[in-house]
Structure formats: structure tokens, C-alpha cells
Amino acid sequence: MSMIRTRNMERQGYSLIELLVSLVIAAIVGGTIVTVMQSQIMLSTTQNRNMLNQADLRDCISYMSDEIVTMGSGVVEPFVEIAEPQELMYVGDLNNDDVWERIHYYYDADAQELIRELDQSSDDGATWTNIGTDVMMDNLGSIQFIYYANNNEAPADEDAITAVEMKMTMDVSNDQTAFTGGRVGGQAMVGRMTIRNRRMN
């Protein structure tokens, strides 16, 4: 009798209900883990994209600031040729090597790009040679140049400009993907620089 009971116990295993319950629990746990991982990946991707956009704006404004503050250095007036809300062209000797540089920034709204054109002149602006054209920023939603005269007043003309302020806004529509969950914020940054040889009184 004891041998029959032992054999019956050896044959016992998991019932169908127990297996189904185990599978359901495993599915719930696995789904929770996947959801948490997706959320963490989305958050990390969003934060990285925001930081990269901020870094791009900061680097662009810093580069332009280093050039704009030298506006008019080593050259004769008038050295501001264009001063528009989305376009700035000026002349200066950036390297103090008696070679004039003419720098032209303008916004291409169709391509959403900030363009920089560089010309050089070795005969005090009589003739100019194009050195190159570069894209300073892409995916740029907007840019605005604001010009100031002494005491933060609006300049009467280009010759009265003593400071330039730049406002840039990124177009983040390309960043609103499944990886970011549409949570990339619109990045904007402002930079202001005073022209060195026109210090405000």
C-alpha cells in the first residue's frame, strides 16, 4: 500500500491552473519591467536631446560673440554694412594682421539655417575675396538681432550701434519622436555683446 501511495506522489506535478497563474504573473512582471525600461530610455533620450540643443545654441552664440565684439577693429568707418533683425554684415580685422574680414550672418528661413559668409580684403576693402560659406546652426526656428546705441537706446543708424543682442530659438519638431515621447522642450538662448571699440559711456 505504501508503494502505491509513493508512486502516486511521484507522478504529481503542476496543475494546469497553477501553470496559467504562473504565466500570468510572469507576463505582468515582464510587462512592468519593459514599461519601466522604456520610460527610462525615453527620459534619458529627452534629457540628452535637450542638453545637446542647449550646447549647440551656447556654442553658436559664443562663437559669434567672439567675432562681433571685434567689429570695426583695425578698419575705418563705416564698418557696419547691414543691420537687420535677421541679418548682420560688418567689417573688422579679426586677427590684427592688416587683412580685413567681412562677416555676413543671415537666416535662411526655408532651410532653417543660420549662414555665415566670410570675405577678406588685403587692400583696405577695395576688393573682396570670398573665403567660405558655412552653416552655423541648423534646425533654427528663429533668430533676431537687436541693436543698441549708448544708454541702451535704439540706434539712429548703423554708425551709432554700440551693442548687439542675439535671440535664437531651436525648432525641436524633429526631436519629437517615439524615443523622446514628444517631451523635448523648445530651446531658446540670448546673448549680448558690446563692441570693443565703441564702449558705452
Cis? peptide before 85, omega within 30° of 0: no
Question: Of 173, 120, 178, 140, which is closest to residue 61 (Cα–Cα)?
Answer: 140
Rounded Cα distance between 200 and 148, Å, is: 10
User: pTM for the whole thing?
Assistant: 0.74
pLDDT in tens, 15-62: 778 788 888 888 888 888 887 787 777 777 777 777 888 888 899 999
CB atoms within 10 A of CB 182: 12
| 126-150: average pLDDT | 93
Rounded Cα distance between 70 and 197, Å, is: 8
Give the 3-state DSSP-derived string for the chain, with helices as H, strands as E and coil as C: CHHHHHHHHHHCCCCHHHHHHHHHHHHHHHHHHHHHHHHHHHHHHHHHHHHHHHHHHHHHHHHHHHHHCCCCCCCCCCCEEEEECCEEEEEECCCCCCCEEEEEEEEECCCCEEEEEEEEECCCCCCCEEEEEEEEECCEEEEEEEEECHHHCCCCCHHHCCEEEEEEEECCHHHCCCCCCCCCCCCEEEEEEECHHHCCC
Per-residue pLDDT, 9: 52
pLDDT in tens, 56-99: 889 999 999 999 988 888 888 788 999 999 999 999 988 888 89
> How does residue 200 score in pLDDT terms, banded at 50, 70 and 90?
very low
- Residues counted in the chain: 201
Per-residue pLDDT, 201: 41
Q: Write phi, then psi, for 9 (nearest 5 degrees).
A: -65, -35
**In whole angstroms, what separates CA 124 from the centre of its chain?**
36
Residue 103, pLDDT > 50, answer: yes
